[in-house]
């Protein structure tokens, strides 16, 4: 378990190294060795804080991950940390006296968003797994959006899972934001794959268009049904 003291020591190490590097390279580019050292410490902080018990420390990990992705670091260590954080309280459970104490939907949602930014096949596979095990609408909305941004749809696997999610909520608790996320994801996936072959997509769009959803969501579904006709899915 990561203690608060260890956490602050690691953070201090990051700041010390960053300051030393800045001082040594004020008039020259950072050397390969210095860059590698800085990245190694950052990855250590990400790895440790992502597995800490504290929600705040997990948010620290996500902030470092965001900065790493913005610099172009989408490596295996980053993906593993995001996968771990995206399952926080779902597959990675911590209990005290039998009570789940690490159910952090906001952490999972942010991790899911960054998986969409990474955009690899591995990120897509993790997102599909999240869609199958998470029940929190705000996490699922972000996962569906991320899948749409990535756009991969081999054998209609992605659209089938999105359709299944919307159908599940449609029966018990229709969610406008979830439905809208699905519509937008279908549109992006269709554009990137010259259409969608799965007939269940059209069926769920009709259910949204005619179901208990607000008018803007219904209209968006109707518009996508019309737009889908332009693709050659034969």
Cβ(150)–Cβ(144) under 8 Å? no
Confidence (pLDDT) at 215: 98
Confidence (pLDDT) at 149: 97
pTM (global) more than 0.85: no
Walking along the chain (234 residues) 10 residues at a time, the average pLDDT comes out as 47 45 45 63 89 93 95 92 95 91 95 96 96 96 98 96 96 94 98 95 97 97 95 65
3-state secondary structure labels for all residues of the chain: CCCHHHHHHHHHHHHHHHHHHHHHCCCCCCCHHHHHHHHHHHHHHHHHHHCCCCHHHHHHHHHHHHHHHHCCCCCHHHHHHHHHHHCECCCECCEECCEECCCCHHHHHHHHHHHHHHCCHHHHHHHHHHHHHCCCHHHHHHHHHHHHHHCCCHHHHHHHHHHHHHHHHHHHCCCHHHHHHHHHHHHHHHHHCCCCCCHHHHHHHHHHHHCCCCHHHHHHHHHHHHHHHHCCCC
Q: Chain-centre distance of CA 92, in angstroms?
A: 16
Confidence (pLDDT) at 172: 85
Cβ(58)–Cβ(49) under 8 Å? yes
In whole angstroms, what is the distance from residue 144 CA to residue 162 CA? 7
């Amino acid at each position: 378990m990561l203690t608060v003291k260890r956490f602050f020591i690691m953070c201090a190490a990051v700041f010390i190294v960053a300051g030393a590097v800045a001082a040594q390279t004020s008039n020259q580019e950072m050397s390969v060795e210095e860059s590698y050292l800085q990245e190694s410490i950052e990855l250590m902080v990400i790895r440790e804080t992502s597995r800490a018990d504290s929600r705040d420390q997990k948010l620290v990990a996500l902030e470092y991950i965001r900065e790493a992705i913005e610099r172009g670091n989408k490596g295996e260590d980053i993906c593993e940390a995001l996968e771990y954080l995206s399952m926080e309280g779902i597959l990675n459970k911590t209990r005290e006296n039998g009570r789940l104490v690490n159910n952090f939907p906001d952490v999972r949602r942010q991790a899911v968003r960054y998986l969409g930014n990474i955009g690899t096949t591995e990120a897509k596979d993790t997102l599909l797994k999240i869609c199958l095990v998470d029940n929190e609408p705000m996490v699922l909305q972000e996962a569906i959006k991320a899948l749409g941004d990535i756009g991969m749809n081999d054998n209609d696997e992605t659209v089938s899972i999105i359709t299944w999610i919307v159908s599940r909520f449609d029966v018990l608790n229709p969610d406008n934001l979830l439905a809208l996320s699905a519509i937008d994801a279908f549109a992006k996936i269709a554009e990137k794959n010259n259409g969608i072959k799965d007939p269940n997509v059209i069926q769920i769009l009709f259910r949204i268009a005619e179901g208990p959803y607000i008018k803007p969501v219904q209209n968006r579904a109707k518009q996508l049904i019309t737009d889908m006709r332009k693709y050659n899915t034969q």
